[in-house]
Amino acid sequence: MRAAYRFRAYNFTADQSTLPTYQAVCVTGDDADCGADSGPQESEENLNRWMAEHSRDTAHATFRRAQWSYVEVQPGAWR
Ligand SMILES: [Zn+2]
């Protein structure tokens, strides 16, 4: 017996009630990344300060950086 699937559109709305956060992980290292993690920061300025302090203390210079934001997903019309 074959299953039949119906597809549904979804709506994505930025969650305005939650502020975005900023986070970085130190990826400096030849064999393995350092892995030091800033944790969520309230602003890009705070994140830059964390990276600068980590770089000052360790001479590490390469980070993976992201801005996290929140989104609401609501089911929409069936297709
Ligand atoms: Zn590091």
Dump pLDDT digits (tens) for 17-69.
989 999 999 999 999 999 999 999 999 999 999 999 999 999 999 999 999 99
Please state the pTM of the whole predicted model: 0.77
Tell me which residue range forms the domain holding 39. Answer: 15-78
Distance 70 CA to ligand 1 centre (A): 28
Distance 62 CA to ligand 1 centre (A): 8
Q: Which two tokens stand for residue 12?
A: 């994505």
Residues with CB under 5 A from ligand 1 (ion): 26, 28, 34, 36, 58, 60
The answer as to whether 35 is a domain residue is yes
The answer as to whether 7 is a domain residue is no
The answer as to whether 69 is a domain residue is yes
Overall number of domains in the chain = 1
The answer as to whether 63 is a domain residue is yes
The answer as to whether 6 is a domain residue is no
Three-state secondary structure string covering 10-69 = EEEEECCCCCCEEEEEECCCCCCCCCCECCCECCHHHHHHHHHHHHHHHCCCCEEEEEEC
DSSP structural state of residue 7: -
Distance 26 CA to ligand 1 centre (A): 5
